[in-house]
Amino acid sequence: MSADQKSAELPFFLRQSGLVLIVGALTVLKLFAAGNAHFVEDEAYYRIWGLYPALSYYDHPPMIGWWINAGQMFFGDTIFAVRALVVILGVVGSAVLWRTAVILFDRRVAGWAVLFLNCSLLVGIGGILATPDAPSVFFWGLSLWALAELVRSQNANWWLMVGLVAGLGLLSKYSLLFLGVGIVLWLVWVPEARRWWSAWQLWVGGLIALLCFLPVLYWNHLHDWASFYKQFGRAGAGGYTAKYIFEFLGAVLGLLNPLIAILAILGGASLFRKALKKDTVAALLWLTCLPFVIYLVYHSLHSRVQANWPAPLFPTFALMAAVFVAGISDERRFWKRWAVAGVLLGLVVALLVQIHAVWPITGQLARKDPTFQLRGWPQIGNELTDIARREQAGFVVTTSYGLNGQIDFLLKDQLPVIQLTERIRYLMKPAPDMTLFDETGLYVTEKRRNKAGDLEKAFETVEELETLERQVKGVRLEDLVVYKVTGRKGLVFEPIPAN
């Protein structure tokens, strides 16, 4: 039977035309939300990275800043520009996953894998957010694709591509280091893979990855390895506790989509048995994930794992779920109905949340609403503009990077907005002119983090002006306190405690 005949036997939603329709519709929805929903705090901060592209940054490698800069070159300093490349390359990521699954399995697995990834809550809902997770997921997926091409073709030249895309992944987020460990484990564990140790392309591919990573290494060398200390210093911090492990597991199951997560567990168990027998493909999927999974579990036994951290693993999880569903017989229709229910759940939730992000359905959930970070900022911007005009303020200062990013966007082209603390976050920007602080300025802070008393080290007078309420549909989310500051004292960037 030809490939076309086999494809014709697939249900419409698993064929390429059906997948294009579904992914295309989701992409249109994401583009709509990307241009109309306000920033979350981290995105507002990364927007500044885009305005000042650099070799690396304090928090993460530079790739998301470069993506944002590319969007800003085409669409200006807008919300849509920050997210444009994230949404567009998300479509490319789906195509890459489809190709990977076809190579390693077949079109049926490929169709389910693309559906499951796009109907995961992390991708279906969070697929518009411009954070380092977006490029890390993209390049992890590209690395898996290049490895799949290597397995299928047995052409050692694919190691050069593996090195390139894995290296670009290292420019996205440090978690891609665990992928490299997984590849080494695969080369050791699988007898058929061991022959690659003697291929020069493997070693040159590793060199290419290292060369890609050089900008980050050089930046850290210039700045006392600050980014490495920040990120790697988290590992194993604190004593052992079971407080966070169930929170971590629940977050993974929830963001993957609970129904799809069950399928991924069943598919992963089946592939694990094959991996133990040193099956090339099963071991590839498992071992490229295993080091990162072990680290995340270890970290969760010491402190909280942020829900987005496991994001690079989601394409592989979707593939594992697809392997299970595609392999069940027609007699076991329960699981196929379960899979369809998982897809429908993901589509419905994505539709509702993306619309809710732009046009809030209700405000009654307040801070429990996962979209609360998006809310109320334009009104805050208008109120701050009025206060600045009234007080004839020449600058705004903050002590929180998230708030600083939001206000910097709201007051762009009006007033300079400067975070007094954690100045290492802004090394890519020109240092502010100190004479600026001889004028009257405003200090803005969240009420829950208010340490205005510390400003007396920097300014002669610190006068509370008013409290602004950030809200959605009349429901209070948080209070922002605005102060007037005058009379600079010496060095304005002396160490005010960070929040």
d(CA 460, CA 489): 6
Q: What are the CA-CA distances from residue 192 to residues 140, 151, 201 (Å)?
A: 23, 10, 16
pTM: 0.93
Could you write out the three-class secondary structure of the chain? Answer: CCHHHHHHHCCHHHCHHHHHHHHHHHHHHHHHHHHHCCCCHHHHHHHHHHHCCCCCCCCCCCHHHHHHHHHHHHHCCCHHHHHHHHHHHHHHHHHHHHHHHHHHCCHHHHHHHHHHHHCCHHHHHHCCCCCCHHHHHHHHHHHHHHHHHHHHHCCCCHHHHHHHHHHHHHCCCCCHHHHHHHHHHHHHHCHHHHHHHHCHHHHHHHHHHHHHHHHHHHHHHHCCCHHHHHHHCCCCCCCCCCCCHHHHHHHHHHHHCHHHHHHHHHHHHHHHHHHHCCCHHHHHHHHHHHHHHHHHHHHHCCCCCCCCCCHHHHHHHHHHHHHHHHHCCCCCHHHHHHHHHHHHHHHHHHHHHHHHHHCCCCCCCHHHCCCHHHCCHHHHHHHHHHHHHHHCCCCEEECCHHHHHHHHHHCCCCCCEEECCCHHHHCCCCCCCHHHHHCCEEEEEEHHHCCHHHHHHCEEEEEEEEEEEEEECCEEEEEEEEEEEEEECCCCCCCCCCC
pLDDT in tens, 283-336: 999 999 999 999 999 999 988 888 889 999 999 999 999 999 999 876 678 999
The distance in angstroms from the start CA to the end CA of the chain is 65
What is residue 59's DSSP assignment?
S
d(CA 310, CA 293): 8
d(CA 333, CA 208): 47
Whether residue 2 has pLDDT greater than 60: no
406 Cβ neighbours under 8 A, 6+ residues apart: 39, 41, 44, 377, 380
**From 38-52, 247-261, 458-472, 480-494, the region with the lowest mean pLDDT:** 480-494
Whether the CA torsion 174, 178, 184, 186 is positive or negative: it is negative
Could you tell me which of 497, 440, 434, 490 has the C-alpha nearest to residue 463? Answer: 440
pLDDT for 8 equals 47
Whether residue 14 has pLDDT greater than 70: yes
Q: Where are the domains of the chain?
A: 3-358, 373-488
Residue that is written with structure tokens 């989701």 in the block:
26
Q: Tokens standing for 263?
A: 């399928």
Q: Tokens standing for 331?
A: 């007699």
Whether residue 498 has pLDDT greater than 60: no
Whether residue 7 has pLDDT greater than 70: no
In sequence order, the β-bridge partners of residue 470 are 478
pLDDT band with cut points at 50, 70 and 90 for residue 68: very high
pLDDT in tens, 423-482: 999 999 988 888 888 899 999 999 988 877 788 888 888 999 999 999 998 899 999 999
pLDDT in tens, 135-175: 999 999 999 999 999 999 999 999 999 999 999 999 999 99
pLDDT for 495 equals 43
Q: What are the CA-CA distances from residue 400 to residues 229, 376, 489 (Å)?
A: 20, 18, 21
pLDDT for 490 equals 62
Whether residue 4 has pLDDT greater than 60: no
Q: What are the CA-CA distances from residue 286 to residues 128, 154, 262, 309 (Å)?
A: 28, 20, 17, 18
Q: Tokens standing for 191?
A: 């007898």
Residue 393 main-chain phi, psi, to 5 deg: -75, 145
pLDDT for 499 equals 39
Whether residue 59 has pLDDT greater than 90: yes
**From 107-116, 235-244, 299-308, the region with the lowest mean pLDDT:** 235-244
pLDDT for 497 equals 43
**In the predicted model, what is the mean pLDDT of the chain?**
91
pLDDT in tens, 348-382: 999 999 999 999 888 888 788 888 899 999 999 99
d(CA 461, CA 203): 62
pLDDT band with cut points at 50, 70 and 90 for residue 494: very low
Q: Tokens standing for 376?
A: 């109320």
In sequence order, the β-bridge partners of residue 14 are none
pLDDT band with cut points at 50, 70 and 90 for residue 493: low
Residue 396 main-chain phi, psi, to 5 deg: -130, 135
pLDDT for 236 equals 56
Decide if 139 contacts 94 (C-beta within 8 A). Answer: no
Using a pLDDT cut of 70, give the percent of the chain over it. Answer: 95
d(CA 201, CA 48): 38
pLDDT band with cut points at 50, 70 and 90 for residue 242: confident
Residue 475 main-chain phi, psi, to 5 deg: -100, 130
